[in-house]
Amino acid sequence: MDIIEITKAPEHAGSHSCRCGEESSTTFPELDATLIPHEIRHPAIFGALESLKSGEGMVLVAPHKPIPLLAQIEKKHPGNFSVNFLDEGPDKWHIELIRN
């Protein structure tokens, strides 16, 4: 019987918690919702938001002012996200969401 040794990826300063070896950026990642099919857009955004730890954030690019989505986020996670409108349309909206 062969023994398989499982090793962890090395820890590097500034690397992601998933230990993929890529360096972390000083800016928040951008999720362009305009590229996500409408049928799965909100679940995809919630998946991204729920993966964030306290102090982490993302910039959401939306095709319109996402008032219904922001209401859903507040209802599901009351007070857990700070919202900052970086660019308000008319074609694309850029919204910074930071987990408190």
Domain boundaries, the chain: 30-99
What CATH architecture does domain 30-99 belong to?
2-Layer Sandwich (3.30)
Mean pLDDT of all residues in the chain? 84
Give the three-class secondary structure for 37: coil
Other CB atoms within 10 Å distance of the CB of residue 33: 21
The amino acid that residue 43 corresponds to is P
Residue 20 pLDDT grade (very low, low, confident, very high; cuts 50, 70, 90):
low
Percent above pLDDT 70 for the chain: 74
Q: Is 19 left (phi over 0), alpha (psi -120 to 50) or beta?
A: left
Q: Say what the pLDDT of residue 97 is.
A: 97
The angle formed by the CA atoms of residues 67, 70 and 74, to the nearest 5 degrees, is 140
Pairwise CA distance, residues 59 & 40, whole Å: 18
Q: Say what the pLDDT of residue 89 is.
A: 84
For 28-66, what is each residue's pLDDT tens digit? 999 999 999 999 999 999 999 999 999 999 999 999 999
